[in-house]
Amino acid sequence: MIDLHLHLDGSLPPELFFKLAAMEGVGLPAGDVDGLLPYLTAPRDCKSLNEFLEKFALPVSCLQSEETLFEAARGLAKELGREGLVYAEVRFAPQLHRQKGLTQRQAIQAVIRGLEKGREGTSLKTGLILCCMRGRDNREENLETAAQAAALLGAGVCGLDLAGAEALYPTRDFEELFCKARKENIPFTIHAGEADGPDSIRAALSFGARRIGHGVRVTEDKALLEEVIRKQVTLEMCVTSNLQTKAVREGREHPALWLLRQGAAVTINTDDMTVCKTTISEELKWLRSMGMTREEERKLWENALKGAFLPEEEKEALGREVRLRL
């Protein structure tokens, strides 16, 4: 199994928070996992993406040192290995982890080390995607993130992303950032077509994005959909997350299977294992309940392999591993 869209701070095993909070000196609102979960997990009746994003405040507060970032990445990699994944692209925003003086480079390298340590003894491979953040006053921080992606590309980092409140900070406002990324040959994906409409996806494609995070609202524009299919743009779809953020209102309305059947390069991902209270296995179970066939499931993994930010020779080796498990 492969997960191309997985946020570090939204996917930490809940029991790990007690260790992280103690290391950071952060007071937790509950003393056991059951009591802590409401602060980490978005409800099914979540009203919007903005409410969903509130669940990241506590995790981020517990990840402000090299030691806690290392432990978090190690713990997540161990969990992914137990889940049976062969490849995961974990993403995080290094600029959010500087409250106690870390540089972005220090934060990134701590996560890289943690992922490497956590996958020891497993067949799991990982890549790290660095997230720039939508905001009004963080241009320099985003440019620094892109610079770090360029410097560490192939040394643990595999790509760049843009995350955050899409409806408040439109994709079109970040053209400068991704022009620089393209000039540096940094692979990138952009969260688009989730809280904002088709124009957000169109802007991402105009920057040169070959992958789109979520992208569910591509169905609202026939010409755009035809372009996405023609160019085989990878759609990183996350069913449970989309239902929680109200990007899709009802489960049966989710377009993942329909888009796959139209020929779009759909992949299935978790987004945030803890915030969404899901796993890749749970996401697949939902798709099977909606009628996904064995052949369609194989196609999901083929799409994920093609879309992965990996050199071609590594994709070939990974493909052999995936086929052995199907």
φ/ψ of 6, rounded to 5, equals -145, 115
Catalytic entry in 166, 194, 236, 283: 194
**Residue 299: which residues within 8 A CB-CB, separation 6 or more?**
260
What is the 3-state secondary structure of the chain? CEEEEEECCCCCCHHHHHHHHHHHCCCCCCCCHHHHHHHHCCCCCCCCHHHHHHHHHHHHHCCCCHHHHHHHHHHHHHHHHHHCCCEEEEEECHHHHCCCCCCHHHHHHHHHHHHHHHCCCCCCEEEEEEEEECCCCCHHHHHHHHHHHHHHECCCEEEEEEECCCCCCCHHHHHHHHHHHHHCCCCEEEEECCCCCHHHHHHHHHHCCCEEEECHHHHHCHHHHHHHHHCCCEEEECHHHHHHCCCCCCHHHCCHHHHHHHCCEEEECCECCCCCCCCHHHHHHHHHHCCCCHHHHHHHHHHHHHHCCCCHHHHHHHHHHHHHHC
Active-site residue 144, yes or no?
A: no
Query: Residue 10's closest CA among 230, 170, 176, 163?
Result: 163
Q: CA angle at residue 323 from 322 to 326, to 5 degrees?
A: 90
Active site residues: 194
